[in-house]
Structure 1
Amino acid sequence: MNWNLPFPSARQPVVARNVVATSQPLAAQAGAQAFARGGNAIDAALAAAIALTVVEPTMNGIGGDAFALVWDGAALHGLNSSGRSPASWTPERFAGLAAMPMRGWDSVTVPGGVAAWHALSERFGKLPFEDLFRDAMRYAREGFPVSPVISHQWAQAAKELHMQPGFSEFIPQGRAPRTGEIWKFAAQADTLEEIARTRGESFYRGALAQKIAAFAAEHGAALSLSDLAAHQAEWVDPVSVAFRGHEVHEIPPNGIGMAALIAVGVMDHLPYEKTAPGSAERMHLEIEAMRLAFADAHMHLADVDHMRVTQEQLLAPAYLRERARLIDPERAGQYGPGQPPSGGTVYLCAADAEGRMVSFIQSNYKGFGSGVVVPGTGIALHNRALGFVTTPGHVNQVAGGKRPLHSIIPAFLTRGGQPVMAFGVMGGNMQPQGHLQMVMRYLVEGWNPQAASDAPRWRIDDAGQLILEPAVPQAVVEGLRRMGHTPKIMVPGNLEFGSAQLVARLDADISGTTDAVYAAGSDHRRDGQAVGY
């Protein structure tokens, strides 16, 4: 591992026996406090995640979804706690729309995040469930100073969402809190206390569920008590692809992690190592592999019960090799989907001295999500229905009781069945692209987790435009243009390139102890930090 720090942030990686890395420092401290109270990596991750719903409401909330990959010391486990659409929805409800609504009640599916907290705690946690809420409730009840990136995001969201039902509770003075201002939300603390006391039952089958359903009915929305009561977090087998002697793991569909795996698999058949690190030629191969992967993902991925091809077919080496042949190493291309042969988000990671590692992600999707906030609860509901399409006959067409294609994806890296790194890059469609870039920076280029995060990024945005961070050297930009790309250079401080958190297990133990030791990195593009205990 290369311990140099060649990129502008020059943040040092955190090396410790127990670590947690998040996008907001107060949440990272909540994770560290869980370690201090005798908790393990799962407890630390959950304490941080619950705190993030309070201290970073612009990216996640109590009314969002969650996914996790957990190394328990012996094996890797996957958790899918994304919610389904209201059972009464039909394609006809959205007929005539070119796309799903982005805001309001018709963008709301059942929130699964609370169920994920309880499922993870019950199966792998060490601390009592109620203990995990301690810091989040304190931040909500006593207040905390809002950090810079979050205050900026809050102000942007307020301009768009102020007319949505209940959103005024997040702007009680008619505006977002400014950097350093103290934000308190006692109603949110009460809701977290209710969730802790009932182990999440109230949210799906109790008093909180009744408040959510009643507010939906008041506005003519379809979400019902029975929709909430039907939700269950689902344990799943992670899906993986081999790359450079390692295994890259993602959650299977309905998550879009398959796009990252397709891109990584395609890279294994391209002349990547013949290109120089940081060069236009190397970035070109990554971009083209990602465009191919997105073409397949947008055609074939959906709720797994509705897919017409399997994940095994999409990841078959012969199919990936065939797709890779479409890429010209010297020229940008355009790609349609292949046909395999028949047959607003927060990410965090944590690890402990006993060898457990957690890759965890939760989200309200587009910032605050739908903009709908259940009065008197602090529950901001996500807008995950935006992940559906309205195209008749498409595998991901909106329907009742169906999970939409999901952008939030935790990732994990192993070697020979042993843990190597928990990592993720939050931020809409940046997530599979970020996963590809982290795998390349860490495995092929050998950077430590912090440097891998700091490296300048590229992104194919939702419109298909290639955008670059301003730190990408001009020679690389010109090289991409010569190959037929039309990159747009974003302004400094632009937040479209996501936020990475990474925790890597170190191979060598130089101290003589049997404890695991980790190196962690936290993205300089956000307010967060990695904390060791």
Structure 2
Amino acid sequence: MKRITRGLCLAGISLSLLSSGLTFAQDRITGKQFATRSEVIATEAMAATSQPLATQVALEVMRKGGNAIDAAIAANAMLGLVEPTGCGIGGDLFAIVYSAEDGKLHGLNASGRSPLGLSFEQMKQLTKEEGKIPSYGPLPVSVPGAVDGWFELHKKFGSMPMAQILKPSIEYAEKGFPVSELIAYYMQRSVSARAQYPGFQEVFMPDGEMPQKGDIFKNPALANTYKQLAMGGRDAFYKGKIAKEIDRYMKDNGGYIRYEDLENHTSEWVEPVSIDYRGYTLWELPPNGQGIAAQQILNILEGYDLTSMGFDSPEYIHTFVEAKKLAFADRAKYYADPAFSDIPVEHLISKEYADERRKLIDPNKAMKRDHAGPIEGDTIYLTTADKHGNMVSLIQSNYRGMGSGMTPEKLGFVLQNRGEMFSLQQGHLNQYEPGKRPFHTIIPAFVTKEGKPYMSYGVMGGATQPQMHAQILINMIDFGMNLQEAGDAPRILHSGSSQPTDEIMTDGGYVSLENGFSMETRRELMKKGHILREAVGPYGGYQAILKDLSNGVYYGASESRKDGQAAGY
């Protein structure tokens, strides 16, 4: 035993830490205790996405003269092909762009709206048996906003022709690509809920079954759709043959999206909103997304000395969970489409309001009256940066993995089911109404320091996202982790069974702790009244780029929970 102890000490690892249950990246000579790999460092350009082929496409575009915006669009198009379990042009898009030319952040809300021809009363009647908008089928489908988002980004910041941007994805869709491990797993899981819907099997199961890891998968219908976009621009999707095909498909299969809904669609450029956290400025987009929940959590936690508490401590985890509960109670009540309601964003993210909310936290007892949202739903997040200093934080999703299951077979993509997030509660701010944008879970993030760009990052996965946005910054600022380690460190997830449109819950929800937190900490949390529940998979998927102005380099990170890759040159 003495010999083992001496060996461990020479490796810089104490037995006390090992016995605590903390997880270490084994056999690393350098780096922090949680890092699975080193950060990627490059001078000219950087890309981090959840699939290596998409990362390589982004770098290829920048090597050929495109900028970070062109690269982000190209990577998103590629992810729509290689990771249909999280995204695609049947879904929505949000982005924050740092423009080196004007030194400003620009926010884009490219989310779609509910059908104009489906009233609240009709929706209530159609969903009478379930009592809520269903997860799959025609009813939760809202207008896809992603394509309009691409062309808005391109019009404002792009430098390379769209045909060239989409070319790599078209070629991969025609020739095929090998399906990676995690994506193959989620494709397999998608069959039972979606195989019954028209077109789904024709596009994704042409041989009668989903592809396995390593199988070559082709999507010629999506290649043809991308070609139409390359030639006809955004109008090909919203006013041309694609719009007409979506209209036909929905009419034939009990849906309510019509040509008129697509023709009327517009994205919105919005001002990102910010809070200061210990000298760093976190920027998020305002509702109808949930980004300000991360800001509310951090505002509350700024009143505590988290560093002294320690990462693997019941005090830190308890305080984090209680702050999250308070932020999500507001999320349930206030977050909705600002075109239909006056959302008190400035008040919600103010330091004064955080001071009031902080008083509700008992350091020894878990709150039971709270509201916790869903953890289901998968997404892709990507970030790019170029030699000019432009940086893009972009997130895009179908909502529940592969969306509604409704798949226009001639077009090669699934329509999103984001409309499920509407409330059927009369008078709720997020109540279903025609032509309205639903509450959204997908959120891009950006951090500046002393007015200069510092970090572009995001974490995928439903209600997981604002919790992890906050944890990433806490890991770096309060616990001194580097960009890679901050994403690899074990995560805290507070969850509940209700949707963000229901009444406030009174059971307090439950806490899931990823492997790496000690048993002692878990026991102490239970003593405070927290219900702990094991969970595998819902902890998100992180990508990030950090700009080191002093050395003139970019740092990139991509966590091990996904198939992703950060790379640069």
Q: CA deviation at 1:176?
A: 1.0
Verify the 8 A CA contact 1:301 1:307 in the aligned structure 2.
no
Quote the residue 2:115 is aligned against. 86
Partner of 1:128 in structure 2?
161
Deviation at 1:462, TM superposition (A): 4.5
Give the Å deviation of 1:306. 2.7
Q: Is the 8 Å Cα contact of residues 87 and 396 (structure 2) preserved in structure 1?
A: yes
Per-residue displacement from partner, 1:217-237 (whole Å, max 9, x unpaired)?
A: 112321111100111121100
Aligned-residue offset at 1:334: 2.8
Pick from 110, 129, 146 the counterpart of residue 143 of structure 2.
Answer: 110
CA distance in 2, matches of 1:442, 1:481: 27
Structure 1 gap ranges (5+): 338-343, 510-515
**Matched position secondary structure for 2:254:** coil
Q: What residue in structure 2 maps to residue 481 of structure 1? A: 526
For 1:322, which of 331, 346, 356 is the aligned residue? Answer: 356
Distance 1:124 1:404 in 2: 27
2:112 maps to a residue whose letter is: G
Structure 1 equivalent of residue 546 of structure 2:
504
Q: Taking structure 1 as reference, are residues 5 and 51 closer, same or farther at Cα in structure 2, changes over 3 Å only?
A: same
Alpha-carbon distance in 2 for matches of 1:176, 1:268: 47
TM norm structure 2: 0.88
> Equivalences for 1:130-209 in 2 at 5 Å?
130-168=163-201, 169-209=203-243
Spell out, residue by residue over 1:401-460, the C-alpha distance to the aligned partner (whole angstroms, 9 max, x if none): 000000000001111221110000011111111101111112222211110000001212
Q: Distance in 1 between matches of 2:307 and 2:33?
A: 20
| 2: CA distance, partners of 1:94 / 1:226 | 19
**Whole-angstrom CA distance in 2 between matches of 1:443 and 1:132:** 37
- 2:440 alignment partner in structure 1: 406
- Name the aligned partner's letter for residue 502 of structure 1: A
Counterpart secondary structure, 2:166: helix
CA contact (8 A) 2:84 2:402 kept: yes
Say which SS state the counterpart of residue 471 (structure 1) adopts: coil
Distance 1:107 1:284 in 2: 36
Cross-structure match for 2:413: 379
2:265 to 200, 209, 231: 231
Bigger Cα Rg = 2
Instruction: Name which of 49, 52, 62 aligns with 1:22.
Output: 49
Q: What's 2:69 paired with?
A: 42
The reply on whether 1:274 has 2:308 as its aligned counterpart is yes
In structure 2, what is the equivalent of residue 518 of structure 1?
554
Q: How many residues align?
A: 515
Q: In the aligned structure 2, how far is the partner of 1:422 from the partner of 1:10?
A: 20
1:255 to 279, 289, 299: 289
Equivalent pair of 2:62/2:68 in contact (CA under 8 Å): yes
The Cα of 1:473 is off from its aligned counterpart by: 2.4
Contact 1:158–1:171 (CA under 8 A) maintained in structure 2: no
User: Match for residue 503 of structure 2?
Assistant: none
Aligned to 1:512: none
Q: Percent identity?
A: 40
CA distance in 2, matches of 1:313, 1:393: 22
* Residue 105 of structure 2 corresponds to residue 76 of structure 1: yes
1:531 maps onto 2:567 in alignment: yes
Whether the 8 Å contact between 1:292 and 1:335 is mirrored in structure 2 is: no
Using the alignment, how far apart are the partners of 1:349 and 1:497 within structure 2?
A: 19
Question: Following superposition, which runs of at least 4 residues in structure 1 exceed 6 angstroms of deviation?
Answer: none
Report the aligned-residue RMSD: 1.4
Answer whether contact 1:308 1:395 (CA < 8 A) is retained.
Answer: no
Distance 2:122 2:38 in 1: 52
Deviates more, 1:22-31 or 1:463-472: 463-472
Q: Deviations 1:376-401 (Å, cap 9, x if unpaired)?
A: 11021000101111111100010100
| Contact 1:295 1:335 (C-alpha < 8 Å) held by counterparts | no
Deviation at 1:30, TM superposition (A): 0.5
What are the equivalent positions in structure 2 for 1:262-411 lying under 5 Å apart?
Answer: 262-336=296-370, 344-411=378-445
Q: Deviations over 1:61-116 (max 9, x none)?
A: 11110000000020000000000101122221232453211111101000000011
Q: Is the 8 A contact 2:96 2:444 kept in 1?
A: yes
The 1-side partners of 2:391 and 2:481 are apart by 20
Distance 1:349 1:43 in 2: 12
The CA distance in 2 between the partners of 1:33 and 1:336, in whole Å, is 47
Separation in structure 2 between the aligned mates of residue 13 and residue 413 of structure 1, nearest angstrom: 18
- Aligned partners of 2:364 and 2:282: how far apart in 1? 27
Q: Give the secondary-structure state (helix, strand or coil) at the position aligned to 2:516.
A: coil
Summarize the Cα distance change of 1:98–1:265 in structure 2 as closer, same or farther, 3 Å threshold: farther
Cα deviation digits, residues 1-25 of structure 1 (max 9, x gap): xx83311x52111011210000001
Alpha-carbon separation, structure 2, partners of 1:444 and 1:347? 24
2:338 partner letter: V
Contact 1:296/1:336, CA 8 A, preserved across alignment? no
State the shift of 1:308 in Å: 4.2
